[in-house]
A and B are shown apart, each in its own frame.
Chain A
Amino acid sequence: MADKNGFFDLSKKELSRRTALKGIAAGTGLALAPGFVRYSQAQSSAPIKIGFQLHRTGIGAAYGRWYEKTSAAAVKAINDAGGIGGRKVELVIEDDGTDPARGAEVVAKFAKQHKTDIVFGTLFSHVVIGSAPAAGENKIPYFVVSEGHHVASTKLNRYVFQPGITDVKSQIQSMAPWIAANAGKKVTQIFPDFAFGYDHRDYLPPALKAQGADVIAQIAIPPTESSFTKYFPQIPAETEVIYHVMVGPAVLTFVKELGEFYGSQRPQLFGFIDSLEAVDINSPGLEFLDGSHFWEGSPRYAQPDDSAAQKAYRAAVGIDDNGAAVGDPKDVSTAAHMFGCWETLYVVKKAMEDAGYKGPEDRAKLVEATEALKEFAEGPEHPQGPKSFNGKIHQCFGIQNISKVEGGKLKVVHKTKIEDGLYEPEGDYTTQAL
């Protein structure tokens, strides 16, 4: 007999009063423990909760810090003006470590645990691509500020939007004529070896081809790389323009080593400011950049023709005329990208108010209201400039700045038009079920 001690003999084991009380006490304790708090009673007066998927650590940390500052400033401005539909806005921040797997977990956590109304704020394209399925599964609108072409490619899902910053394909298309006409016809590309870099790899050659210029070499560098000289011999000698876009913690090393390699005998340089975002262009070793050109989404340095809205935006975020934090000239911002956070939050406000958004049950209505948007006028809500929005591909299109390094500052020398960057949609999100 296996059950010698009578473990399975229920008649002996009576449920005593003491055991029952213990069970109830333990159950109550669990229910009260953090994480088990009920969030269901979302009343109309409760704040709108925006889950902020933030690159607080990992290779995107420099961007993350400024995305956080900009978003906090935008939320403050929105709340000071009465919030969204009369309700206060609250940012709930989770760090994704700039990691796609963590990113997907964070999105699920926002949807299931924090029960935020939307998710917002992701920059790095591999994190966006990794997190988008989680947003679709949880049917939570996901507003990214990423610059990559993945949203507009319609390969993600109906819940993912990029209404605050133009995608890479459009940026390249609008700037290619300027590059071919002013910089040179034989172009060597240096780009990071992941999704964002592949947008540059795939869309620059056809855009330049249309202007009679050619990409003669493509060099992919892992974003975690810490030394770069070893890649430079792959640049062909006949190169007229080096088109560079790097990201990651070692961008300063990348540009410095490019300078050591070439000195003043360099080909023309056309870079995405990503290669120097959050880095002072007057750092020692970067003198060779003088006279080179950069793409900027929004100019880092204050320009003579800045609009009143641009000035107010810079003051609200707390950056000075050199694009560094007010009071700390060494703390250089990611000005070319972070405006997208500000503008995206205002798009969210507009869409929520259009939809008569009450709570998570209205998320589908919010998606449709966002898709119905057509254009955003330049002004305090869109200080970077006017934009058009294509609801079928969930992507906005704005103007791009080409700036020249002159006397240790970046001076805008060319602005593209919205029409320059428009392309045939590759699909239609609105045909997908909600």
Chain B
Amino acid sequence: MHFGPHLLLAALEGLVTSAVLALTALGLSLVFGVMRVVNVAHGEFFMLGAVLAWAISTAIAGHPAIGFAAALVIAPLLVGLVALVAERLVLRRLNYNPEGTIVATIGMLYIIQQLALTFYGPEARPVEPPFSYRILLPWFGYSGYKLSVVAASAILLVITWLVLTRTKIGLIMRATQYDRETAQAFGIPVDRVYAGVFAVGTMLAAIAAVLIVPISQAHYLMGQDPLLLSFIVVIIGGLGSLRGTVVAAILIGLSDGIISMFFSPTLAKIVATLVVAMVLVFRPQGLFGTTPR
């Protein structure tokens, strides 16, 4: 294959990775930014979204698009509910202590993963895409569904940005992020904001998973890679910065696509990890992060 089409394919693959990564990492970043909780179980909420998407889409008969649409709505809501319960039962009781919550979310990681293994099983199961249109380019074919994932992710990111910057809920969230005590003093129910943010953060991961599952199938171990990549993105972009997360996700996704296509996937991971190390050394707050107060 010639260089031009090769690069185009690499960029397309990179964009799909970026799109899913941006949503997943945004959830992680939101939870950390507002609650200062490092959610190690984030990848498992992603996996839970995919597994539920499989369950919902197979339970609904008829055209695959109906099942998929139902999954896109119901699966994130269920995941959000699970997250809400986990937040009430675990994180709140730990008083959102940063060290305590890391250990607690590691525990949640194992619990969710093993429950999925017990009730869903160890197989990888496919979800039918809502439509299967193959875009025919002169050099190769490409899945139309993959491109729609990029579009859907972009729309969701814009919506999240609008909510955060233009609505009262967003204002409250930002106020809580900026200074918890002062926000509380001004009558903001910080406690409820935390619960909501944790649920929304995991729901973003679940939406990303529902979008990706027609491409890559639901499997109980699928949460590991997104977790690692999300951490990489969030550290590079700056914890709690929406803009930083999106920029870093595109950067990591594209470099992953291009490097793994022209060289090797292992090299892509090496480069990403190296960038994280460099960012941590030279700009610990991340590219767009602000120094914590």
Contacts and interface: CB of A to CB of B under 8 A. Distances in A.
B141 A260 contact: yes
Contact of A61 (B1, B122, B126): B122
Contacts of A250: 124, 216-217, 219
Interface residues of A, number: 30
A7 B13 CA distance: 72
A328 B42 CA distance: 34
B20 to A, nearest CB: 10
Given A230-B260, A262-B141, A263-B141, A249 B13 contact: no
* Residue of A65, A249, A278 with most partner-chain B CB within 10 A: A249
A263 B216 contact: no
Contact of A283 (B5, B10, B117, B126): B126
Interface stretch (B128-136, B179-187, B200-208, B283-291): B128-136
Contact of B134 (A58, A263, A283): A263
7 contacts: A65-B122, A222-B265, A230-B9, A233-B10, A260-B143, A261-B141, A284-B64
Interface of B: 1, 5-6, 9-10, 13, 17, 64, 117, 121-124, 126, 128-129, 132, 134, 136, 140-143, 215-217, 219, 221-222, 225, 257, 260-261, 265
Contact of A252 (B17, B217, B261): B217
A261 B134 CA distance: 9
A195 B217 CA distance: 25
B256 to A, nearest CB: 9
B102 to A, nearest CB: 25
B122 A58 contact: yes
A233 B217 contact: no
A233 B9 contact: yes
B215 A263 contact: no
A253 B50 CA distance: 15
A181 B10 CA distance: 35
Contacts of B219: 249-250
B123 A62 contact: yes
B13 A226 contact: no
A263 B136 contact: yes
A229 B216 contact: no
B141 A230 contact: no
B247 to A, nearest CB: 22
Contacts of A283: 126
Contact of B222 (A226, A232, A252): A226
Contacts of B117: 57
A230 B269 CA distance: 14
Given A61-B122, A230-B260, A253-B216, 8 more contacts: A57-B117, A62-B123, A62-B124, A233-B261, A260-B141, A262-B141, A263-B141, A283-B126
